[in-house]
Structures are given as C-alpha cells and as structure tokens.
Amino acid sequence: MNETINIEVVYALPHEQALLRKSVPVGTTVADAIQGSGILQKHPEIDLAASKLGIFGKLTKADAVLRDKDRIEIYRPLIADPKEVRRKRAEEGKVMKKGGGDI
C-alpha cells in the first residue's frame, strides 16, 4: 500500500497568492513537491536555486522530507532591506521633529 500525505505549496506575489494542494508519497522532499506541484510552470520567474524555502514560516532546505499537512512556502527576494528602511525613517524623524508645532 502506497501511503500519501497532503501538502500545500504557496507562492505569494504583491497582489496574488498561489496555493496548490497536493497528495504526495511519504518520503517526498520539498524540492520534489515543488517540482511536482506545477507552480514552476505557472510562475516561471521562480528560481529554485536562488529562492529561500520555508515550511510554516521556518526556513528549510530543498532536501527536507515533508510531513502530512506541511505548507511549503517559496519566498521572493526582498526589494528593500528592512533594516536600511528603518534606519532612514529614524534619520528623517530626527530631522523633521514630529508633532507639537505652533498652530
């Protein structure tokens, strides 16, 4: 008897989220599930070699073996470094003193 597990593969864009549900054989890896899900055909911009992968928000490797009900997340690269954005915002706040002005 071939046992299967149910998994989800998720890829989010700014205005759209692709969520594919699949049944895969026990022992399937993250990379195998992504390849078999069809998401790479729907979104050819995904570069598995460069993309970070996660399961429920925790980074994982492509050769990790999946468990039942795992949700594989394919992460896009960040456009802006969040630390740099916060640093710039803090500098602007010092220059532009917020609130408490004369009316």
So where are the chain's domains? 4-95
CATH number of 4-95: 3.10.20.30
Q: Which residue did the predictor score with more confidence, 72 or 88?
A: 72
Contact 73, 55 (CB under 8 A): yes
pLDDT of 65 reads 97
Q: What is the 3-state secondary structure (H, E, C) of 62-98?
A: CCCECCCCCEEEEECCCCCCHHHHHHHHHHHHHHCCC
58 vs 73: CA distance, rounded Å:
9
- What tens digit of pLDDT does each residue of 29-84 get? 999 999 999 999 999 999 888 899 999 999 999 999 999 999 999 998 877 777 88
Q: Position 70: which residue type?
A: D
Helix (H, G, I), strand (E, B) or coil at 36: helix
pTM for this model (two decimals): 0.73
| pLDDT above 60 for 1 | no
